[in-house]
Chain A
Amino acid sequence: MAGGIESSDGGKANRFKELALPHLDEVYTLARYLMRNRSDADDAVQECYLRAFRYFDTFQGGQIKPWLLAILRNVCHSAYSENARLLYGEDAGDEAPVDPMWREQDETPEQTAVRRSESETMRRLINRLPAEFREIIVLREINDLSYRDIALVIEVPIGTVMSRLARARGMLRDAWVAAERRSKRR
């Protein structure tokens, strides 16, 4: 029965892992930006995957990434309503720096330092955005979702995706310009 329907739990788990686990880094990335600290992000991602597996029968095909991200977002929001500090708490951008996954070849230590500080700056600025703008920036620029998928994940019309993204980029640009100015003055 090549390509047939597997009905055993093992088959379902296999299929789920095969589809969902490749997106773990992306799901984790969104969780880090939504929860803004490592241990809450860990918890949220774990809960997301368990919930996704539980509802895997309702997954109707298509791309699984937006589906997973929508579940993660719900998990984060329910964690948030249990504890309002998590999502909207005062700037929690004081995390230890984490190396990005990619690494330029043949970087000098100076270049590494510049890159690291720039990426820290950008992460900090994104983390300071209000939640609805933060999440749309991450979904678009880092998770690389189309407008249509963003609309599905955050459950708003595409028109709202567009106007919110425009505002979010505008806010981030203002913050970026201000940060650049500060760093030059130093």
Chain B
Amino acid sequence: MNCEEAGILLHALIDGELDAENARAVEGHIAGCPKCAATLRDMQAIRNAIRAGASQYAAPPDLRRNIEGKLPASAPVVASRRAALKGFALGATATALAASGLLLMVTRKDAERRVLDEIVSAHLRSLQGDRLADVVSSDQHTVKPWFNGRLAGSPPVMDLTAQGFTLLGARIDYVDAKPVAAIVYRRRVHIINLFCEPALSQGESSASMQSLHGFNVRSWREKGIHLWAVSDISPDELSEFGEKFAAALKQ
């Protein structure tokens, strides 16, 4: 790496935008180059000065009122919890960027991939000891109310016994440092974890199937809810589960 490259990449380093390998490469250059080391210190200093000095402006109250006044009158507000649950759905963004053929080396580890990692890790954790379910019941009318007061929003709990997937229960799990509902099903001897989180936008998205460490993950969006089904059953069976669940949800 030469100084010209390092001079640009060190910004990505202080912004936390480099993956581990590239961060090491830049740090390696800086360790042996006093000039770039000085630039790094300067740039960290100016970054701190900007952040300390140039704070956000507060929008004037009458501007807020004007905007609210010009939007159509709203129906009574139910609950605004979704604003607190942001940052999950980077899909469209990531795809747009991938299509524009950008510097591959520098992008932060894809948010989707991170979520996928965490989904599979949470699935694995749930299979250890007796962590599978905090509420054990095959009755959806027992499982669903259990979430009341434990999570913002009410996750969909569907009885799919007739369709060949037995409801075992549910628990709260954590994905991306946020609590999510985990609903547990069984197919023969295989466990399926279904993770649900309110999505930022309403509507639906088509399902995608990914595979990691021998587990399959089917993710999709339905009725404003993000869903991830993870299991060691085959992709075909997992798709079947997803479709049955979606069908039940639509009823």
Closest chain B CB from A155 CB (angstroms): 10
**Distance, CA A59 to CA B201, complexed state (A):** 8
**Distance, CA A15 to CA B78, complexed state (A):** 10
| A2 contacts the other chain (CB 8 A) | yes
Is B50's CB under 8 angstroms from A2's CB? Answer: no
Question: Assuming the A-B contacts A9-B72, A13-B74, are A28 and B54 also in contact, with contact meaning beta carbons closer than 8 angstroms in the complex?
Answer: no
A82-109 contact mask (Cβ, 8 Å, vs B): 1 or 0: 0000000000000000101110000000
Chain A, residue nearest B63 (CB): A42
| B1 contacts the other chain (CB 8 A) | no
Closest chain B CB from A43 CB (angstroms): 10
A1-28 contact mask (Cβ, 8 Å, vs B): 1 or 0: 1111110111111111111011011111
Residues of A within 8 A of B70 (CB): 46, 49-50
Question: Assuming the A-B contacts A100-B55, A101-B58, A165-B11, are A13 and B223 also in contact, with contact meaning beta carbons closer than 8 angstroms in the complex?
Answer: no
Looking at the complex, which of B100-108, B117-125, B179-187, B207-215 is the stretch in contact with chain A? B100-108
Closest chain B CB from A3 CB (angstroms): 5
**Distance, CA A147 to CA B110, complexed state (A):** 12
| B27 contacts the other chain (CB 8 A) | no
| B75 contacts the other chain (CB 8 A) | yes
Looking at the complex, which of B84-92, B130-138, B162-170, B229-237 is the stretch in contact with chain A? B84-92
Closest chain A CB from B194 CB (angstroms): 15
| B80 contacts the other chain (CB 8 A) | yes
Residues of B within 8 A of A151 (CB): 97, 102
Query: A101 is contacted by which of B56, B68, B103 (Cβ under 8 Å)?
Result: B56
Is B73's CB under 8 angstroms from A13's CB? Answer: yes
**Distance, CA A121 to CA B53, complexed state (A):** 8
**Distance, CA A29 to CA B54, complexed state (A):** 10
| A72 contacts the other chain (CB 8 A) | no
A35-53 contact mask (Cβ, 8 Å, vs B): 1 or 0: 0000000100110011001
B31-66 contact mask (Cβ, 8 Å, vs A): 1 or 0: 000000000001101110111111111111001101
Residues of B within 8 A of A165 (CB): 11
A159-186 contact mask (Cβ, 8 Å, vs B): 1 or 0: 1001101100110110010000000000
Is B64's CB under 8 angstroms from A119's CB? Answer: no
Chain B, residue nearest A148 (CB): B97
Give A96-148 interface residues, CB cut-off 8 Å to B: 98, 100-102, 118-119, 121-123, 126, 137-138, 140-142, 146-148
Is A49's CB under 8 angstroms from B67's CB? Answer: yes
Residues of B within 8 A of A25 (CB): 56-59
Closest chain A CB from B137 CB (angstroms): 20
A contact residues, range:
35 or more
Closest chain B CB from A111 CB (angstroms): 13
**Distance, CA A1 to CA B198, complexed state (A):** 14
Closest chain B CB from A51 CB (angstroms): 11
Query: A63 is contacted by which of B8, B50, B53, B86 (Cβ under 8 Å)?
Result: B86
Closest chain B CB from A110 CB (angstroms): 17
Is A157's CB under 8 angstroms from B102's CB? Answer: yes
Is B83's CB under 8 angstroms from A14's CB? Answer: no
Is B93's CB under 8 angstroms from A18's CB? Answer: no
| B160 contacts the other chain (CB 8 A) | no
Chain B, residue nearest A50 (CB): B70
Residue from A10, A14, A45, A172 having most chain B Cβ neighbours under 10 A? A14
| B129 contacts the other chain (CB 8 A) | no
Give A39-80 interface residues, CB cut-off 8 Å to B: 42, 45-46, 49-50, 53, 59-64, 66
Is B17's CB under 8 angstroms from A42's CB? Answer: no
Question: Assuming the A-B contacts A162-B9, A162-B12, are A24 and B67 also in contact, with contact meaning beta carbons closer than 8 angstroms in the complex?
Answer: yes
Is A29's CB under 8 angstroms from B83's CB? Answer: no
**Distance, CA A163 to CA B7, complexed state (A):** 9
What are 16 inter-chain pairs, A to B, with CB distance below 8 A?
A3-B198, A10-B75, A17-B71, A21-B64, A21-B68, A25-B57, A28-B58, A49-B67, A61-B221, A62-B90, A62-B93, A140-B15, A147-B106, A148-B94, A162-B11, A162-B103
